[in-house]
């Protein structure tokens, strides 16, 4: 049981955050080891199964409750101790507790803080106050005792603070589901629109219900309260009150509300209607702009990533490629671009040589410095070697080098795992992130390989050919002689052993 719970709290291989930021199995094992080494038995990793399942459950429950809570204002004498709302408040407090024990994922996604004190500090500094206000059962506080014109429901507006947490939970959900940008934004606009008009309808009824306590003497003669069915709340159904207020709020938001003489309006009503009309117009403008941008982006997406992916799919079908090979190609494309198309060659041609070298240095310098023959070389030569590296990507099961074939390059593993198989066909080792192989080809070009190397997972590599290495060494003849002497000595020792 303990180990099962531990597995649920550790980062898992299928999580979208693991796939995007941790990438290889070795990096995943290192991240899991880092969490275990901290010794906190109750600590959730942001890329763990339990965090994902909790976010999904919290997202669904929160959205349903956000549809249920505003309806309370339309009931005659609503219960301030509604068990469903109190259940939601309890769940919100559990969510706050979960964030104190969940690793803090920074905006870039690559850095995850797992220290408990640092997690608490970052959360308290960020979203804690909003989550805490949203979780408080403030609806239990009655401003006026008269339940006919309910006022305790005014406190429901504080529940809106939890929308910020729901936004992150929704992002976690749609990224895991693999929804495209167009689909995710389209669903977001729809769900946001439903909540916006639902809660604006609640406010349109709640504000006059609150003001009714100050107009008790001539309440029945004021058209504001009659128009919204505030005065006849007991005789009118919840559906009738809700639909009439929804009709009015839609008219206010799009500017098509029906005409009424100015004498029929109170100053509070005019202020409320003006504010809601402006807010509604801003929301509709924002939603329209989002959908317009979505349509434009969707067109570009079809022309770029999805369009090229469809071309590739049609090409594979036309060529009659087997399903296994088609899945292999699609896996390669998804890993390479992660649902974003970019012309890497065009980008690299845009920047100058120094920036290219800086990019390569950031990605590859550590890999180069892991190779012993490079460690004593001048920095300028190291920079030249890094700049001469070429990237290669191998799919699971692909052979990288074969035994008894001549070697022409050294390989540096950036991400992934490969298997080392000797001449008898026996698997003798695994090499992972940061490892290298094939360095003998640099000292003795054309030397025969003594092992076969096969990729076990999607493996990113950088390789340096013997020809490029010799070109890098030309300005350093003394280093070239030293390497040649070292290679000669190595050959002599091998002959003596024979």
* pLDDT for the residue 494: 45
> What is the model's pTM?
0.71
Percent of the chain topping pLDDT 70: 85
How sure is the predictor about 285, in pLDDT bands with cuts at 50, 70 and 90?
very high
User: Residue 88: its pLDDT value, please?
Assistant: 94
CA distance 324 to 217: 79
- The pLDDT, as a whole number, for residue 475 is 87
Q: Which of 55-59, 112-116, 127-131, 140-144 has the lowest mean pLDDT?
A: 140-144
d(CA 328, CA 156): 52
pLDDT tens figures, 348-387: 677 777 777 777 777 788 888 888 888 888 888 888 888 8
Q: Write phi, then psi, for 256 (nearest 5 degrees).
A: -110, 20
pLDDT at res. 496: 41
Q: Write out pLDDT tens, residues 243-277.
A: 888 988 898 888 776 555 555 667 777 888 889 88
Q: Mean pLDDT across the stretch 310-322?
A: 85
Per cent of the chain over pLDDT 90 is 33
Q: What is the pLDDT of residue 498?
A: 40
């Amino acid at each position: 049981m303990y180990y099962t719970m531990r597995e649920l709290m550790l980062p898992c291989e299928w999580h979208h955050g693991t796939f995007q930021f941790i990438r290889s199995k070795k990096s995943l094992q290192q991240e899991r080891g880092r969490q275990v080494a901290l010794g906190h038995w109750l600590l959730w990793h942001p890329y763990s199964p339990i965090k994902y399942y909790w976010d999904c459950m919290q997202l669904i429950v929160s959205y349903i409750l956000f549809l249920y809570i505003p309806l309370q204002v339309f009931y005659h004498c609503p219960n301030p101790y509604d068990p469903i709302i109190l259940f939601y408040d309890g769940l919100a407090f559990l969510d706050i507790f979960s964030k104190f024990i969940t690793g803090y994922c920074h905006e870039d996604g690559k850095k995850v803080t797992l220290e408990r004190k640092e997690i608490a500090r970052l959360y308290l500094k960020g979203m804690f106050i909003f989550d805490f206000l949203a979780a408080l059962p403030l609806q239990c506080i009655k401003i006026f005792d008269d339940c006919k014109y309910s006022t305790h429901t005014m406190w429901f507006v504080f529940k809106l603070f939890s929308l910020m947490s729901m936004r992150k939970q929704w992002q976690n959900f749609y990224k895991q589901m693999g929804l495209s940008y167009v689909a995710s934004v389209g669903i977001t606009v729809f769900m946001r629109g439903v909540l916006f008009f639902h809660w604006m309808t609640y406010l349109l009824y709640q504000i006059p219900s609150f003001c009714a306590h100050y107009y008790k003497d001539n309440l029945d003669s004021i058209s504001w309260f009659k128009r919204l069915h505030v005065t006849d709340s007991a005789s009118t159904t919840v559906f009738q009150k809700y639909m009439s207020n929804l009709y009015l709020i839609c008219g206010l938001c799009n500017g098509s509300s029906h005409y009424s003489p100015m004498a029929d309006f109170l100053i509070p009503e005019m202020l409320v209607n003006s504010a809601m009309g402006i807010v509604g117009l801003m929301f509709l403008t924002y939603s329209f702009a989002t959908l317009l941008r979505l349509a434009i982006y969707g067109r570009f997406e079809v022309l770029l990533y999805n369009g090229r992916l469809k071309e590739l799919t049609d090409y594979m079908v036309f060529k009659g490629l087997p399903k296994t090979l088609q899945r292999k190609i699609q896996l390669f494309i998804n890993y390479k671009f992660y649902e974003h198309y970019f012309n890497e060659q065009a980008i690299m041609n845009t920047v100058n040589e120094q920036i290219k070298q800086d990019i390569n240095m950031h990605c590859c310098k550590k890999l180069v410095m892991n190779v012993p023959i490079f460690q004593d070389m001048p920095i300028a030569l190291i920079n030249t070697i890094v700049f001469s590296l070429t990237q290669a990507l191998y799919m699971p099961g692909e052979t990288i080098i074969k035994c008894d074939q001549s070697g022409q390059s050294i390989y540096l593993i950036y991400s992934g795992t490969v298997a080392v198989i000797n001449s008898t066909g026996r698997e003798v080792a695994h090499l992972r992130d940061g490892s290298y192989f094939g360095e003998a080809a640099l000292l003795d070009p054309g030397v025969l390989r003594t092992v076969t190397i096969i990729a076990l997972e999607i493996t990113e590599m950088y390789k340096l050919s013997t020809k490029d290495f010799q070109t890098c060494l030309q300005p350093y003849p003394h280093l070239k002689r030293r390497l040649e002497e070292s290679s000669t000595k190595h050959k002599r020792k091998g002959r003596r052993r024979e």
